[in-house]
A and B are shown apart, each in its own frame.
Chain A
Amino acid sequence: MVDTLELILRHRQRSPTTRSGELYYEMLVEYFRRPLRATEEGTPLVAHTAYIPSEIFYAMDLVPLHLESFSIISPAVLHNFEEMSSVAKGFGLTPEVCSAHRVQAAWFVQGWLPRPQAVVWSQQLCDSINHSGALLQEAYDLPGYFLDRPYYIGEREVHYYAQNLAEMVEFLEGTTGHRLDQDRLCQSLAHTYEIAQAEREMYALCRQVPCPMPNRLGDELFSICNWLYLGTPEGVDFARAALEEVRGRVGRGVVPQENHRLISLYPPPAFSWKLMDWIEREHGATIVARPYCLHWAPWEPDFSHPLESLARRCFAIPISRHFHAPMMEAMVPDAVEDAIAHHADGGLFFAMINCRQGCAMVRPVKDALLQQAGIPTVVVDVDVLDPSFASDDDIKDKLESFFEVLAERKENVL
């Protein structure tokens, strides 16, 4: 997988597009190369699921391995979803189970992951993750810790979560022998804050007409800054580079003519990010809002109480704050607010078919966007990892019809 990512990187370097585009692949390669090096160098490697606060790993000098990223990126790069799916089936995981978890399980069963020293997992996206962590623990016979994030945000919940974080640190100290460095934790929180501020500024700039952020960049930011490099100087570099580019495009946008301004409500299929380029290039359709990636709740670091501050950060970060919370308090109001503020004229919901979290939100979000923001939403059924479920062509057909609807609506208004 690392080799293929390197090939993609070299291709990008030969045909450069943007600094962030190049950095994106450089950083992916580096991120996934590190676990291999860590094993050789004897640095403890810790596998973890989405939204385990990576600031802790950096403050303890541990090498993290983000399992969902791995399972989302690997089949897209290796084109081996079918193989992974059949390994998972042999393990008892049916196609109805979320494909991200099936791919993870397949890697575990095959023993293809570099061996971590510990695993830490959490339910901050969904509780399918509860068992994925347990599976890895069992398959590799590893010590593990489950980080329990409360559902609501309130003082009692923050306190409880901070306690859980302290226990997680204790667990990691015990299993790896590395101590938490409080100064480094504060530094890491400062990096996270800088990333959050850059994302907030970029997101605010997306309100401009035309939108200055390319369609891919939102998802790249999500992957690099919110998942893989949160709390690191590298993450800050990426966010800065992206911010510079977005600032530089203010006033001129990313396409010669912006025909449709869309709010995206769920990640696009991982096997075809090119779709996002295609809607931009062929249809002048720009993603001007993506609350699940970029809508942060208010948060500022408090260096006098770093763990508590980290706990508050975990409640504020997008997608975790949208998925592990009442939908009428986060996902729905954020979508409506962003659709209006960003002047979106249509909603785009990639409905991941085996994700009960995402699918349950389809109708309330769609209704709220129509009633409160006055815009229609196209729901495209996909399996974000399985290209055989809905092909590029199927998706393009559906999107083209939607763009026709949007064009007609515009004509009627004019």
Chain B
Amino acid sequence: MKITVRDDTRYHQLIKGLDLMAEHRRRHPTTESDAMYYRLLADYFRNALNAGEAGKMVVANTVMTPSELFYALDMVPLHLEGLAVISVPVLKDSDHMFSLAKSFGLPPEVCSAHRTQIGMSLLGALPADVVVTGHNICDGSYKSGDLLRHLYDIPGFVVDRPYRYSDADAQYYAGELEELVQFLEGVSGHKMDWGRLAQSMECSRRMMELHQEIYRLRRSVPCPSPNRLGTQLLFLGWLYMGTPQGVEFFETVLAELQERQARGQGYVPQERFRLLTIFPPPGHKMKLLDWMEREHGAVMVADPYCSHWGQFEWDDSRPLVTLARKWMASPLNRQMHGPAELGWLPDTVEDALAYKVQGAIYWAHIGCAQGCALIRIIRDALREKAGIPTLVLDIDVLDPSFVSEEELKDKLEGFFERLEEEL
């Protein structure tokens, strides 16, 4: 089966939906960064759509493939998981995506992020010219990328990220990036612009520093950040890593947090519970996060899975090695792909203690073998080493029919009561 007709109707609808959301935020302002967030989302996806007119190629890429290289080669990235995760809640068409994927042979047991990607591919809805795939989070990405390449009959490359973080592993990964550059030079006809790569990496370095600073500020009591922030930073980081727009967004967020902190204010008037969260919340129920802070003063202060960076040495004279190290140390990547005892586990316990949290919420995305395998180990570690309980909420990050908002609220309220008693 090949997709010979591209149909960008759904893609246009997504941009329209995001534009409307940005407009709504502009008219009902909450924070500057929040309005900026939706505008940047719309711009990102618009860029991919307009790339052809600008004579640029679109690189569809799976999560955590180094976007700095795409910018340096004057190509336009299109983040597949980002698109799946954002488009379904905006267009509210998960059923349609899942039924397309089912007819293609993917049963409901397969992660909905991947089923959505396949659904979008089958619709011909992706403006992709080439695919770059990695398995930085899970090997579902390999297969989704492979399928897109096959369905659209376009060239593709797989970046193989090692499991560990040693020097030899970073060298190996840098070798992969070197081969990726050669491959992209071949398909695009552009030569690598190392000066541009340096600029993009400078932006990445700045974004990383800002992200670390933002995360540090969230330790403050009361916490100056809204519950949605962790996920927003994660998404914007995915989409805009290595760009001035990404830097601007992170700077805006930092300034807002600093201002609140300087006034001694938290984001909510009364902070009652400080929570650590593990794994992304359901993308279709972000209002649940607002409800938690508004109705219960429950603030998500720590989210190591998407905010805790690893340590590494930044060396401008070896850009590909540095890029390799940076991506291996970046949050989510470091926690999901590497050994749990080197990343996910110690980061979670460390942050639980440093952020003075009273409880943890594990968003257990049901189709995710990666995310669910460690539930018990992390829950035990949090109880034994940080003395806090963990609420495990079974959800599907993209399927709103899996569990209702009411059920989730009931469970959360029960958990808050328990925390209240313990306090």
A interface residues, Cβ below 8 angstroms from B: 91-98, 101, 105, 109, 123, 126-128, 130-132, 134-135, 137-138, 146, 148, 150-152, 156-157, 160, 163, 324, 326-328, 351, 353-354, 356-357, 359-364, 366-367, 379, 381
* Residue contact A151 to B107, C-beta cutoff 8 Å: no
* Residue contact B135 to A91, C-beta cutoff 8 Å: no
B interface residues, Cβ below 8 angstroms from A: 1, 104-111, 114, 135, 138-140, 142-144, 146-147, 149-150, 156, 158, 160, 162-164, 168-169, 172, 175, 337, 339-341, 364, 366-367, 369-370, 372-377, 379, 392, 394
* Residue contact B104 to A98, C-beta cutoff 8 Å: no
* Residue contact B110 to A92, C-beta cutoff 8 Å: no
8 closest Cβ contacts across the A-B interface?
Answer: A92-B375, A131-B373, A362-B105, A360-B143, A354-B109, A128-B369, A151-B160, A148-B163
A92 touches which of B140, B158, B162, B392 (Cβ 8 Å): B392
* Residue contact B366 to A101, C-beta cutoff 8 Å: no
Q: Please, which residues of chain A bring their CB within 8 A of the CB of B109?
A: 95-96, 353-354
Q: Please, which residues of chain A bring their CB within 8 A of the CB of B114?
A: 356, 360
Q: Please, which residues of chain B bring their CB within 8 A of the CB of A151?
A: 135, 142, 158, 160
A366 CB, nearest partner CB in chain B, Å: 7
B97 CB, nearest partner CB in chain A, Å: 15
Cα–Cα, bound, A102→B110 (Å): 15
Q: Please, which residues of chain A bring their CB within 8 A of the CB of B144?
A: 360
* Residue contact B105 to A359, C-beta cutoff 8 Å: yes
A388 CB, nearest partner CB in chain B, Å: 14
Q: Please, which residues of chain B bring their CB within 8 A of the CB of A146?
A: 163-164, 339
Cα–Cα, bound, A95→B364 (Å): 12
* Residue contact B376 to A360, C-beta cutoff 8 Å: no
Cα–Cα, bound, A134→B169 (Å): 20
A97 touches which of B1, B160, B373, B376 (Cβ 8 Å): B373
B323 CB, nearest partner CB in chain A, Å: 18
Q: Please, which residues of chain A bring their CB within 8 A of the CB of B376?
A: 91-92, 109
A381 CB, nearest partner CB in chain B, Å: 6
A-B contact pairs, 11 of them (CB 8 A): A92-B375, A92-B376, A97-B369, A97-B373, A137-B341, A151-B142, A326-B156, A353-B107, A354-B110, A357-B143, A364-B147
Q: Please, which residues of chain B bring their CB within 8 A of the CB of A356?
A: 106, 110-111, 114, 139-140, 143, 369
New A-B contacts (10) at CB < 8 Å, excluding given A156-B175, A361-B143? A123-B139, A131-B373, A134-B377, A148-B169, A151-B142, A151-B158, A160-B168, A354-B107, A360-B106, A362-B105
* Residue contact B1 to A367, C-beta cutoff 8 Å: yes
Cα–Cα, bound, A127→B142 (Å): 11
A-B pair number, CB within 8 angstroms: 139
B9 CB, nearest partner CB in chain A, Å: 23
Q: Which of B109, B143, B158, B164 has the most CB of A within 10 A?
A: B109
Q: Please, which residues of chain A bring their CB within 8 A of the CB of B104?
A: 362-363
* Residue contact A328 to B143, C-beta cutoff 8 Å: no
* Residue contact B139 to A92, C-beta cutoff 8 Å: no
Cα–Cα, bound, A209→B278 (Å): 57
Q: Please, which residues of chain A bring their CB within 8 A of the CB of B135?
A: 127, 151
A363 touches which of B105, B169, B172 (Cβ 8 Å): B105
B269 CB, nearest partner CB in chain A, Å: 35
B411 CB, nearest partner CB in chain A, Å: 15
* Residue contact B392 to A130, C-beta cutoff 8 Å: no
In the complex with contacts A356-B114, A360-B106, A363-B1, A148-B373 CB distance below 8 A? no
Cα–Cα, bound, A140→B134 (Å): 32
* Residue contact B394 to A94, C-beta cutoff 8 Å: yes
For A150, give the chain B residue with the smallest CB separation.
B160
Q: Please, which residues of chain A bring their CB within 8 A of the CB of B106?
A: 356, 359-360, 362
Q: Please, which residues of chain A bring their CB within 8 A of the CB of B111?
A: 356
* Residue contact A326 to B341, C-beta cutoff 8 Å: no
A291 CB, nearest partner CB in chain B, Å: 17
Cα–Cα, bound, A128→B367 (Å): 11
Cα–Cα, bound, A353→B106 (Å): 8
In the complex with contacts A92-B379, A135-B377, A359-B164 CB distance below 8 A? no
Q: Which of A93, A131, A353 has the most CB of B within 10 A?
A: A131
Cα–Cα, bound, A152→B146 (Å): 13
Cα–Cα, bound, A148→B162 (Å): 7
Q: Please, which residues of chain B bring their CB within 8 A of the CB of A379?
A: 105
Cα–Cα, bound, A96→B376 (Å): 16
* Residue contact A327 to B146, C-beta cutoff 8 Å: yes
B344 CB, nearest partner CB in chain A, Å: 9
Cα–Cα, bound, A351→B104 (Å): 12
A315 CB, nearest partner CB in chain B, Å: 13
Q: Please, which residues of chain A bring their CB within 8 A of the CB of B175?
A: 156
* Residue contact B158 to A328, C-beta cutoff 8 Å: no
* Residue contact B373 to A126, C-beta cutoff 8 Å: no
* Residue contact B143 to A327, C-beta cutoff 8 Å: yes
A309 CB, nearest partner CB in chain B, Å: 20
B327 CB, nearest partner CB in chain A, Å: 16
* Residue contact B139 to A328, C-beta cutoff 8 Å: no
Q: Please, which residues of chain B bring their CB within 8 A of the CB of A160?
A: 162, 168, 172
Cα–Cα, bound, A123→B339 (Å): 12
Q: Please, which residues of chain B bring their CB within 8 A of the CB of A163?
A: 168
* Residue contact A96 to B158, C-beta cutoff 8 Å: no
In the complex with contacts A92-B364, A93-B372, A360-B144, A351-B107 CB distance below 8 A? yes
For A109, give the chain B residue with the smallest CB separation.
B376
A51 CB, nearest partner CB in chain B, Å: 14
In the complex with contacts A101-B369, A160-B172, A363-B105, A328-B140 CB distance below 8 A? no
Q: Please, which residues of chain B bring their CB within 8 A of the CB of A105?
A: 373
Cα–Cα, bound, A319→B164 (Å): 24
Q: Please, which residues of chain B bring their CB within 8 A of the CB of A128?
A: 369-370, 373
For B1, give the chain A residue with the smallest CB separation.
A367
A293 CB, nearest partner CB in chain B, Å: 21
* Residue contact A328 to B372, C-beta cutoff 8 Å: no
Cα–Cα, bound, A132→B370 (Å): 10
For B112, give the chain A residue with the smallest CB separation.
A96
Q: Please, which residues of chain B bring their CB within 8 A of the CB of A130?
A: 163, 337, 370, 373
